[in-house]
Structure 1
């Protein structure tokens, strides 16, 4: 088992499509607060002082705090958020309706014109092998990792991501 925590709420994300190409900062106090919670979790469960994070600042800043407190910290690009291609970083209101229609017509296969399809994200998340018991990542990646729908997801069956700063326990995938 490992526990992956969603990063703290990033600054500047409101109303924007934020994925793996848009590296937003987090409030340093929120990163430190989440690092404290992860450190307490590790103590409570007698876990090794090791953590792996996405390379994006909103996750990596938590890893930096843990490293200051003696944790071994690794960065793994496989934990990055889904790449929304041309949409990444754009205001949702600036994305034309016909583009959303294209996505809904091919919910799993649409690659956002040069980004990553949901099918690719599901495969990347399922194939990831945790190097330790603690990780910090992103809502879309975590949701993909925990997808257990059997059939391919649809827009209506895709669950919401976990809350910012929330932990999710998971068994290692048998990729």
Structure 2
């Protein structure tokens, strides 16, 4: 299987914060940022795998480190930090820049996992990733630990799904709540 450098999957997208993107605290809605992260990560995955479709398998975490204000620009950088057989871990960092002062800060970080799909909608093998920078090497070297945590979390989610109800609360008998 061929190999690709992490930088070959790098996607950088900078946008301004619009008033419609703000919550009642006048900071960027978390959901708006999540949509932007998923979009960026999808493009990194597709660029790495060179397939028509990549699907989100998981969002490990989105850690909101600093609020993003309307006076900020939002720069999202994503790239493939590790690969499995058909899966790709995508690292995303969010840099907020105050457009008045020029101050830049890491506003958020995130890890998402994508699976590359072939024309038949089945997973296909992806190239391995080659880290080059100190940041890329750190993420690569720590990826197996995140993969183990991800695997355990997925197992626990399946256990939970097996016991939670599909019943509509309004259809339950009163004795359930007694």
TM-score normalised to structure 1 length: 0.29
The structure with the greater share of residues assigned to strand is 2
TM-score normalised to structure 2 length: 0.29
Bigger Rg, which one: 2
Which structure is richer in relative contact order (CA contacts within 8 A, separation 6 or more)? 1
